[in-house]
Amino acid sequence: MKLFNTADPTKNLLPYDGSVIYYGPILDNPSYFYEQLLKEINWQHDQAIIFGKLVTTKRKVAWYGDHAYSYKYSGIEKVASPWNNTLLELKTIVEKSSGETFNSCLLNLYHDGDEGMAWHSDGEKDLKKNGAIASVSLGAERKFSFKHKTSKEKIDINLENGSLLIMKDETQTHWLHRLPPTKIIHTPRVNLTFRTITNM
């Protein structure tokens, strides 16, 4: 297992089968965006169908985009709300930093370290195949992990407050990722994943 703690926009964190670039903190005032999103976003408890049962999570989510995009994951369909000014400002910064463009954003609110995300890939058919996904972290610093689907090789990185991580190329095809739970984090984290939807 490899653990990365420093940012290098020229370095691919993955040894093969995809591209993950960690830019480190890109926001001059991440606390401002953190507070704005906590107040402005229409946060809802996430739901998923697991083993045929509807499960409601403690973690909260929200979905925004250029249009009322329909996006289905974990058996649940969501419809995007229109952008607000704070999200558009963040989108502009992310696109300028990464050189990529996006038309939607999925937000997650983790209240503390007890809330995480299990191993998964963002391979839904509505997403642009091999397209870039930009992950912005606000609030608590958390470890983020990758695991190759075949070799089981693992890569870990600590995502700092205000940081940007880009996943692209064949990453979602060959790698899983997760946000591991931890008992040492007692403050919230807001995560934004800017994406490209192709179903309209």
Q: What is the pLDDT of residues 2-38, one digit of tens each?
A: 666 677 888 999 999 999 999 999 999 999 999 999 9
**pLDDT for res 3:** 67
**pLDDT above 90 (res 80):** yes
**pLDDT for res 51:** 74
- The correct CATH number of 2-195 out of 2.60.120.590, 3.40.50.300, 1.10.10.60, 3.30.360.10 is 2.60.120.590
Q: What is the pLDDT of residues 98-138, one digit of tens each?
A: 999 999 999 999 999 999 999 999 988 889 999 999 999 99
Rounded to two decimals, what is the model's pTM?
0.92
Distances (CA, A) of 10 to 3, 22, 91, 96, 103: 17, 9, 21, 16, 25
- Please name the residues in contact with 109: beta carbons below 8 A apart, sequence gap of 6 or more: 38, 41, 43, 59, 60, 61, 188, 189, 190
**pLDDT for res 124:** 84
* Average pLDDT of the chain to the nearest whole number: 92
**pLDDT for res 200:** 57
In angstroms, what is the C-alpha Rg of the chain?
16
